[in-house]
Amino acid sequence: MAMRRLILLVAIAVLGAASVDAEVLTVASRSVADEKAVFATVESISVVPARGRIGGTVVQLNVREGDAVTSGQAIAAIGDEKLALQMKSLDAQIEALRAQSDQAQIDFDRIQGLVDRGILPRVKLDEARTALNVAENGMRARTAERAVVQQQFNEGQVLAPASGRVLKKLVAVGSVVLPGDPVATIAQQNFKLRLRVPERHARFLKAGDKIRVDGGEFGDHASKSGVIDLVYPLIEDGRVIADATVEGLGEYFVGDRLRVWISGGARTAFVIPSSYVTTRFGIDYVRIRQAERTIETPIQRGRDLPSPDLPDGLEILSGIRVGDELVQP
C-alpha cells in the first residue's frame, strides 16, 4: 500500500513538472464574424439572345442546350428562296450587260479608227464613247446590287453574340422566322452568385465582404471563398440582392441553388489552436493547469475559425472560461 502511494506521488510530481515545461495558453475571448446561412443562385452576368438578321426558314441548327459557343460562331442558318432567285436574275443581267459592254468597246475601237482616217465625223466617236460608258456603268450597278443580295444571303448565318453556354434554343429546323427573331439564348461564361439576404442583415452587408460556400455544394470536401462585388440598393420581398464572385462556378448549371455563409455582424467566442484538443472515444478534452497540477475537462467544439494569426483556430462552445490556462498535450 505504501509502495502504491509512493508511485502515485511520483507520477503526480512528474506530471506537474511536465505541465510546467509545456506550452501554456491563457484563454481569452475574441471577436469573430457571426456567419449566417443564406441561399444563392448561380446566374450569368447577362443572358443575350442570338437573333436572325433576315427572314426565312431555318435550314440548319448547329447547337443544342448546354453547348459552349464562342463569340461570332455560326449557330444556325436561315435560308430565303427569294434571295436565290434574285441572285440568278442579277447574274443573268450582269452577263447581258457584260456582252453589251464588250460590243460597245468593239464599236468604239472601230469608229475611232475610221475617225482617225477621216472617214467618219468626230461626233460618231463621241456617241460610241457615251454608249460604252453607259454599258460599263450599267454593269457596275448590277454588280453592286448583286453584292447587296450576297450580303443578305450571308446574313442568313446566325452568329453567337458572346462567348458562353446555350441556355435554350427557341426554334427548330424548318421554322419560319422574321428579321430580328431570337433563335437561341446564350448565357455569358462569367457566372456569379446572386445572394438574397434578409433585410435584417442588410446593414452588415457591403461590397468587399468575404463569403464561404461549403465544399459539399461543389461535390468535394474543400470549402470555397468568394467576395461580394455589388449590393443592390433595392429591397424586394424583404430581401437584399447582392452579387458575389466565386472561382469554379463555370461547370455548374445556371440557376443552381447553393448555401452560402455570409457575415451577419460580430460576436465574442473562445478560439484556441486545435492542437490543444484531444479526442478520445468521441469526446473532446483540453488540459487545464490549476496550481501545480493539470486536469482534463471535456469541451464542446464548434467549427473551424482560421485566421491570419491562428491558422488552425477552433471555436470552443463550452467547457472553458476566460483566464483558464491550457496546456498542450
Q: Could you tell me if residue 243 is inside a domain? A: yes
pLDDT tens digits for range 170-227: 988 888 889 889 999 998 877 888 888 888 777 778 888 888 887 665 556 567 788 8
Rounded to 10 degrees, what is the CA torsion of 226, 227, 230, 231? 90
pLDDT tens digits for range 24-46: 888 888 888 777 888 888 888 78
Domain count, the chain: 2
Check whether residue 245 and residue 317 sit in a common domain.
Answer: yes
Q: Could you tell me if residue 307 is inside a domain? A: yes
CA distance 303 to 270: 11
Give the residue numbers spanning the domain of 136: 81-155
Pick the residue with more confidence: 13 or 243?
243
Q: Could you tell me if residue 13 is inside a domain? A: no
Output the pTM of the full model.
0.51
Please compute the mean of the pLDDT values over residues 149-171 and round it to a whole number: 85
Q: Which residue has the cell 448561380?
A: 42
Check whether residue 221 and residue 317 sit in a common domain.
Answer: yes
User: Are 287 and 295 a contacting pair, CB within 8 Å?
Assistant: yes
Between the alpha carbon of residue 167 and those of residues 155, 171, 242, 275, the distances in Å are 23, 13, 23, 49
pLDDT tens digits for range 248-264: 665 556 777 888 888 77
Q: Could you tell me if residue 111 is inside a domain? A: yes
pLDDT (0 to 100) of residue 14: 39
Check whether residue 222 and residue 318 sit in a common domain.
Answer: yes
Check whether residue 289 and residue 238 sit in a common domain.
Answer: yes
pLDDT tens digits for range 260-314: 888 777 788 889 988 899 999 989 999 998 877 888 899 998 888 777 788 888 8
C-alpha grid cell, residue 97: 450587260
pLDDT (0 to 100) of residue 183: 92
Check whether residue 226 and residue 147 sit in a common domain.
Answer: no
Check whether residue 105 and residue 35 sit in a common domain.
Answer: no
Check whether residue 247 and residue 317 sit in a common domain.
Answer: yes
Mark 80-110 as b/e (b = at least 16 C-beta within 10 Å).
Answer: beebeebeeebeebbeebbebbeebeebbee
